[in-house]
Structure 1
């Protein structure tokens, strides 16, 4: 009888552990409803209108951060202000320079997953500039040197071909006129702790990107062992030209699927 009791005790313990494991899996794979998007340099949050429309129609609560583009800390603080307002877990999305921002801001405990859209993803202790300069730029790349105030703009003559080649000339002209210039110091600021080292991260490579060499994107996305990488044909602003495909990756992240 004593042997049977011990055996029963082990079975009971095993069942309890199995139940806890099932609950844990259910909690981590439950659909996340809050999406926070961080734009990059030479752009602003309005470019995500089509992605916003697609996701909100599917029931997601979408917020778009307007970065000051003045330093990594300033932009991370701006992202955290929006993240902290959410009523539950968050999928944090970043485009271009916004990838560096979410790499740091993603350490916010409300963030449960990250999505990188043609984005920088420096590792802990790294900065954006070392990755931006790790391979030769495309001839169409029009990122100018900092001006007298330390601010960087994208060259008007190259903006359409180098930033948003798959958008209409009319839209490109407006995007250039409304571009968000960025302080050069942003690219020098180092990541303290890369959130993707401990949280699931999804990377989108824009295969026709002229602002960031697509191979740089591929190389950076190898930093995180949790990355699930999708390649999408399009320019640096694929969230404008391919909103359905970009939204689909965000939904995968929200569902915790590959």
Structure 2
């Protein structure tokens, strides 16, 4: 249905200048959902497999020749527009992953990297829907256990409440620390010096929000999705 035919069918939209409030949300499964609402109360929504397609669909609504429209970026009201569609809480980048690894986005591989040869320190996560985030930190004073735990904390931070998430980690220390945090949550007291600021709070906040976190042991260099997180943490190319 085009924008023009929608307006004529309702009979409520007078030709003239109108404003569209638009928003895009990243779903856990890998799709971008979008919405557009006119100041005449008409509303459109859709889902695309790329951000480019989502923004293109929204822009296409403003092409009616009989009216002039103002595009105002806005927030995506995902909860009411797409009930039951888990939308990520924080924006992340999308990478291409092998088709055989693609899934619902409920599996996330986490890893840290500490490299003395060039003073590199970093963490990263990659979900099986292709969402990824990585960050590189000052090498001085960095600890691999802290980087591994921060990768887990940053990963669970982006998931909406009420979902099960399987976290893949090859760090026994980070897995044990995460399990301890989840058991005690806000009463957790035993924080070693290697725990980076904010990581404990992010894990607790995710649990309180209703993210059901399942920490899974993987051996280093043995799981394809974890290998992608390893490369991202080491600042290497991760695209398939």
Which category of TM-score, normalised to the shorter sequence, fits these structures?
under 0.3
In terms of fraction of residues, the more strand-rich structure is 2
TM-score by length of 1: 0.25
Please state which structure has a larger fraction of its residues in helix. Answer: 1
